[in-house]
Structure 1
Amino acid sequence: MTIHVVGGGLAGTEAAWQIAAAGVPVVLHEMRPVRMSPAHHSAELAELVCSNSFGAKASDRAAGLLHEELRQLNSIIIATADKHQVPAGGALAVDRAVFSSELTTTLAAHPLIELRRGEITQIPEGIAVITTGPLTTESLAADLQRFTGMEYMSFFDAASPIVMGESINMDIAFRASRYDKGDADYINCPMNKEQYLHFWTTLCQAEQAELKEFERETAKFFEACLPIEEMAKRGEDTMRYGPLKPVGLTDGRTGERSYAVVQLRQEDKAGQLWNMVGFQTNLRWGEQTRVFRLIPGLENAEFVRMGVMHRNTFINSPELLHPTLQFRQRPTLLAAGQISGTEGYTAAAAGGWLAGTNAARLALGLTPVQLPPTTMMGALFEFISSASPKHFQPMPPNFGIMPELGVKIRAKQERYAAYRDRSLADLQQWRNSVPGQLSIVN
C-alpha cells in the first residue's frame, strides 16, 4: 500500500522519511516548481521561508526540549539541522540552502520515496497525510473545507499574545466575568485614566512588523481581525468601547469599576496559559513586550506566544483531530504542521514525525501511537486536539501546555529542567513499550 503525503515542507519531509523508514512506499507531492507559492524562492524540500533558526538549543527551553525529543526519535529534520548548523549563540540555526538541498537529495534517492511535482487539488484517497501549511492552495483548501464542514479555511489572521498565568500579578489583576456571567472565568487587568492614556499613546506610536506583499494585498479584507494598534489609532476611546470596555466588571476587592480593563481568557485546561482578549496585533515582538507590560498586572508578563498577523490556513483541530493527528471522521487521513494548528519549524517536524509514523503503522496493520502528554510533543498534540474550538489559534511549543509537575519549584530554570527530565525519561519508557515497534523507535 502506498501512502500519499501532500506538501514538501518540514512536516511533509519528515512524514515521508518516517514512512519510508518503516518500509512503506510513499509518494511525496510538492507543487513547486510547477506552481510556486508567494513565500517560497526555490523548489527544494523543507525550504525555510522565514528565519533560519529552529529556536533555543538548551533542553531546558521549550524548543530545545522538542529538538532533543526528536533526536531520540531519529528525526531527519533535526539530524540535518544539527549537521548544517551555523553560529547563532544559544539557537539552533542552519545554513538554509545546504539544509534544504541535502534533504531534497536524500529523499529523492530513497527507493521507497517517489517525489512527485505538481499541484494536488483534492484530498487523496487511501492513507494520506496533509502537510500543506499556511499557504495551502485555494483548490485544496476548498476541498478541505468541504471535507471538514468548516465555514472557511484561508484567511488573514491576527492572533493575540498568550502569557503564562504564573507571571500575572494577581495583587493587581482580579478574577471576574462580565456581569458575573460564569464562574469568574476571566483574569482582568484594571486601568485608571492616567494608565490608560499612557498605554494608548505608547501603543499608537509603537513599531509594526512589515507584511509581505501578498499579505498586504489580503489584509484589507479582514476588518473582523483588526489589530489592537489599528483600533487604538481610530480614537482615544475606541478600545474602551471595544475589548477594553469596563462595563459589567467590578473588582470585588474595591467594589469599583475601572476606567478600562484588559481581559485574559483561559487558553488550556489546566489554566496555565492566558490569551489577551482582543489583542490581535502586528507589532514587532520586542514592541509587544515593551508596550503590553505597561498594562497593570502584566508588568512582568512572560509571553509564550507573541501576537502575529499573516495569511494563514489551519483547521479547527480540537473539533477534527485525535492526538494521534488522525481525522476523527476519517482515521486514514492525517494532518501535520501549521495546518494542524502548531506553530514553528520544530513543531512542524514533530507533527510530521507523528503523522508519518502513524500513517506507516496504519499501512502495516498496527495501532497508531499517542505520545505521552508529559513530553513536549505529546503535550502539543494533546493541546491542539482538546483546546477550546471556539477560540482555537495555532500554538508553539511551551512549558505552559505541559501537565504540572506535582511539586512546586519556584525557580523557573529549575522548574523547566524538571519538565525536561520528566519528559525525556517518559519518552524513553514509552519508546521501549510501543507494541509492534517500527525501525524509528527501536
Structure 2
Amino acid sequence: MVVEPVTVVGAGLAGSEAAWQLARRGVPVRLHEMRPIRTGPAHHTDRFAELVCSNSLKSDDPATAAGLLKRELADLGSLILATARDTAVPAGGALAVDRSAFSEAITAAIEGHPLITVVHSEVERMPDGDAIIAAGPLASDTLMDALSRIVGSEHRSFFDAAAPIVEAQSVDRSQVFEASRWGKGGQADYLNCPMSRTQYESFVAELVGAQRVTLRDFERRELFQACQPVEEIARTGLDALRFGALKPVGLVDPRNGEPPWAVVQLRAENRGHTAYNLVGFQTNLTFAEQDRVFRMIPGLDGAVFLRHGVMHRNTFIDAPRVLGPDLSLRALPRLRVAGQLSGTEGYLEAAATGLLAALNTWAMRNGSDPVVLPPTTALGSLIAYATDPNTRPYQPMHVNFGLLPPLDPPVKGKRSRYAAYSERARGDMAAYLDRRQDLIQRGRDGEIG
C-alpha cells in the first residue's frame, strides 16, 4: 500500500524535528527547504536547523522552565535535543552547542533517512493533504500571503537581532579572565571582559550615539523583549546594561579579588574554542560602528569579527485565533503550523512544536486521540497559552513558570516554588506518557511500518 507523504515546509529546528519524528514512525516525508535556491536575511549556510542568533539553548537546570522543557523533550525523544547534547560546548549551567557541528549533524540525519525526500524549492502555496508549515519567522512573503488567505487575517511581525562573533586569537587574554558566573560549569566556559566605572560609562555613551542600520527609533512593540538590541537597552538608562547583559554579579576579577563595575561575557561558539560570541550583544549598529564601539570593550581592542551582529524582521501568526490545541489550523485541520511562525519563541520551543505537530499528524492518520500535553508541563502550558482564544494580545512567548497553573497548596520562596513546579510536571508528564504508549513507545522503538 502506498502511503501518502506528509509535506513539511522548512528545514529549520521545527521542520527538521517534525520530519524526523514522522519518518521514524514509518511515515514518508517531503521536506521543502528553499535554501540554497533562496536565502533568508539572517542565514549564513544552507544547512538544516541553522542557529541564526545565539548558540545557547539556555539553562540545563530542571528547576528552571528552560531546563524542564529539555527534560520533557528528552522524554519525547527529540532529535534536536539529542543532537544538541552530542555537539555541546562548555557554557556553565546552560546548554550551548557548536553551531556548525550541530547543523551538520541534523542535516546528515535528515538527508540520510530513507523516508525523507528533501526538495530544495520555495513553496508558494499551501500544500494539499497532510502538511506542517514550519517555515520559520523568516518565511517568504509569497508563502505568508498564501497562509494569510487561509487564516483570514494579516500576519504579525517583530524585529529580532543577533550578536556578533569574534575570533578567539584576536582577544587580548591579558585583559580578560576565565570564569563562569557563580562558579557553575567549567572555569573556562566564559571569557570575561571587566570594565571599570569610567570604561563602562564611556562605552555606553558611544553605544547610544552610534549609527544604526535602521535610522529611526523602533517602537517598543516592534522589538521582541528577549532579543532587544544592546543599544536600545542602553537608551533606557545609564545602568540598564549593568543590571542586564553586563551585570557583574557572581564574578570576581582574580587580578584584584573584587567584582568589576560591569562585565562583558564571551561564550565559546565551538568545541575548539576558536570563536566566541558576545553574550547579550544583539545589535542593529552598522558594521563599521560595531568595529569601533565594541573594540572599546577591554580585551577586544584588536578583535577580528567573524560575523557582525544583524537585525531582521520575524513573522508569526495570531495563533490563539487560528490554531487548535493540536496545532492544526481551525480553517484547515489537515494543515499544522509549528516553530516560531506559530508565535512560540526560542530554539527548543520551536523544535518542541515541530515534534508535537508531527505526533498529532501521526495520531490523526491512525485514528488516535490528539496529543495535548498536560498544562502543568512546560510544553503543555506553552501550547495552552498559544492556542487559547482568550490570550490577548498575542506576542511570542518562551516557556516560563508564569504560564503554569498555580500550585495547590501554594509554595513560598522562588527556589522551592520552581522545584515544586518541576516535580509536578515530571509526574504529570510520566503519567501522560504511560497512557500514550500507542504513540510514544512506537517512536522510541525506531522505524515502524
Same fold by TM-score greater than 0.5:
yes
Q: How does 1:113-124 map to 2 (within 5 A)?
A: 113-124=116-127
**Equivalent residue number for residue 227 of structure 1:** 220
C-alpha contact 2:125 2:146 (8 A) present in aligned 1: yes
**Residue 115 of structure 1: SS of its match in structure 2?**
strand
1:103 aligns with 2:96: no
Q: 1:352 aligns with which of 336, 351, 354?
A: 354
What is the CA-CA distance between 1:284 and the residue it aligns to? 5.6
Structure 1 residue aligned with 2:314:
312
State the distance in 1 between where 2:7 and 2:206 align. 46
Contact 2:159/2:222 (8 A) holds in 1? no
Aligned match of 2:75 in 68, 72, 75? Answer: 72
Corresponding residue for residue 64 of structure 2: 61
Aligned pair 1:33/2:36, yes or no? yes
Give the secondary-structure state (helix, strand or coil) at the position aligned to 1:136: coil
SS where residue 368 of structure 2 aligns? coil
SS, match of residue 328 in structure 2? coil
User: What letter matches 2:40 in structure 1?
Assistant: S
SS in 1 for 2:92: coil
Once residues 159 and 209 of structure 2 are traced to their aligned partners in structure 1, the CA distance between those partners, rounded to angstroms, is 14
Alignment of 1:311-330 (within 5 A): 311-330=313-332
Contact 1:226 1:280 (C-alpha < 8 Å) held by counterparts: no
Amino acid at match of 1:114: T
Aligned to 1:303: none
Would you say the 8 A contact 1:316–1:389 is kept in 2?
no
In 1, Cα distance between equivalents of 2:160 and 2:83: 32
Q: Residues 171-219 of structure 1, C-alpha deviation per residue, up to 9 Å, x if partnerless?
A: xxxxxxxxxxxxxxxxxxxxxxxxxxxxxxxxx97956999x9xx46x8
Query: What is the alpha-carbon distance in structure 2 between the residues aligned to residue 152 and residue 433 of structure 1?
Result: 37
- Aligned residue for 1:46? 49
TM-score by length of 1: 0.68
The two structures, once aligned, show a CA RMSD in angstroms of: 3.6
Counterparts of 1:110-189 in structure 2 under 5 Å? 110-153=113-156, 155-157=157-159
Are residues 1:422 and 2:444 paired?
no
- Indicate how the Cα distance of structure 1 residues 389 and 399 shifts in structure 2: closer, same or farther if over 3 A, else same: closer
Query: Which whole-Å CA distance do the structure 2 matches of 1:391 and 1:206 have between them?
Result: 36
1:15 lines up with 2:8 in the alignment: no
CA–CA distance in structure 2, aligned partners of residues 310 and 35 of structure 1:
16
Structure 1 pair 283/70, CA: closer, same or farther in 2 (3 Å)?
A: same
Q: Which of residues 5, 9, 15 in structure 2 aligns to 1:6? A: 9
State the AA in 2 paired with 1:36.
T
Given that 1:158 and 1:226 are in contact with CA atoms closer than 8 Å, whether structure 2 keeps it comes out as no
Equivalenced residue count is 336
Q: 1:60 offset after TM fit, Å?
A: 0.7
Mapped to 1, the partners of 2:435 and 2:373 lie a distance apart of 11
Please tell me the residue identity of whatever aligns with 1:28: L
Q: Is the 8 A contact 2:155 2:316 kept in 1?
A: no
Q: Do structure 1's residue 333 and structure 2's residue 326 form an aligned pair?
A: no
Distance 2:221 2:63 in 1: 33
Gaps of 5+ in 1: 160-203, 231-274, 295-306
Alpha-carbon separation, structure 1, partners of 2:58 and 2:240: 24
Aligned to 2:305: none
Residue among 397, 404, 407 paired with 1:405? 407
Post-superposition offset of 1:322: 1.3
C-alpha spacing 1:229/1:357, structure 2 compared with 1 (3 Å): closer
**One-letter amino acid of the structure 2 residue matched with residue 337 of structure 1:** G
Q: How does 1:279-298 map to 2 (within 5 A)?
A: 282-283=229-230, 287=234, 291=240
Partner of 1:384: 386
- Tell me, yes or no, if the aligned pair for 1:28 and 1:116 is still in contact at 8 Å: yes
Q: Conserved in 2, the CA contact under 8 Å of 1:133 and 1:339?
A: yes
- How many angstroms apart in 1 are the aligned matches of 2:335 and 2:233? 39
Distance 1:338 1:427 in 2: 24
Q: Is the Cα contact below 8 Å between 2:233 and 2:241 reproduced in 1?
A: no
- CA-CA distance at 1:408 after TM superposition: 2.1
Give the SS at the match of 2:370.
coil
